[in-house]
């Protein structure tokens, strides 16, 4: 088994785990928001602490959604190079350069996310109602940043391969 096959197998396994989690988180947020609106408008009493649960869930949902976008390279991009140049080498070079710059930025962001997560573990801060540790939601940033690094390395190898093929 070569490295490419291993990485594709790992990616498939990760997506078998991440996609059901995202669907479950979407359902939790939708049900939570519905219950919250129902309790406020129909019953006239807000559900105490529901916002905490929704906030924690939304943090993980947002970060895992960003991971899926990074995996599929469907995040926002300003690809104006195709307008300026029709030369495939120039286009692939700019894509490679953008991936390298993104990787450098992602490394910095990952270190910041790691620092935030370790700080949250050290401070042991909790939410006011249910006393849930804040690192539950803050760790989503670090986990997502690790995925970003993985997919950016993949993108660099893909872009380099595209550049060398043409």
Residue 76 pLDDT: 67
Domain count, the chain: 1
Closest CA to 136 of 158, 166, 116, 106: 116
Angle at alpha carbon of residue 22, lines to 19 and 24, rounded to 5°: 110
Average pLDDT over residues 63-67: 94
Q: Measure the CA dihedral 7/11/14/19, to 10°.
A: 180
Give the model's confidence band at 104: pLDDT under 50 very low, under 70 low, under 90 confident, else very high.
Answer: very high
Terminal Cα distance for the chain, rounded: 27
pTM of the model: 0.86
Give the model's confidence band at 133: pLDDT under 50 very low, under 70 low, under 90 confident, else very high.
Answer: very high
């Amino acid at each position: 088994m070569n490295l490419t096959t291993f990485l594709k197998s790992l990616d498939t396994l990760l997506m078998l785990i991440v996609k059901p989690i995202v669907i479950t988180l979407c359902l939790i947020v939708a049900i939570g928001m519905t219950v919250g609106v129902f309790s406020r408008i129909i019953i006239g009493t807000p559900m105490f602490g529901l916002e905490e649960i929704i906030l924690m869930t939304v943090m993980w949902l947002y970060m895992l959604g960003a991971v899926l976008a990074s995996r599929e390279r469907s995040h926002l991009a300003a690809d104006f190079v195709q307008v300026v140049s029709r030369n495939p080498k120039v286009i692939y070079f700019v894509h490679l350069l953008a991936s390298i710059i993104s990787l450098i930025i992602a490394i910095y962001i990952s270190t910041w996310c790691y620092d935030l997560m370790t700080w949250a573990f050290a401070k042991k801060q909790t939410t006011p109602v249910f006393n849930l540790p804040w690192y539950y939601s803050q760790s989503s940033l670090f986990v997502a940043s690790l995925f970003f690094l993985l997919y950016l390395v993949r993108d660099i190898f893909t872009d380099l391969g595209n550049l060398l093929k043409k």
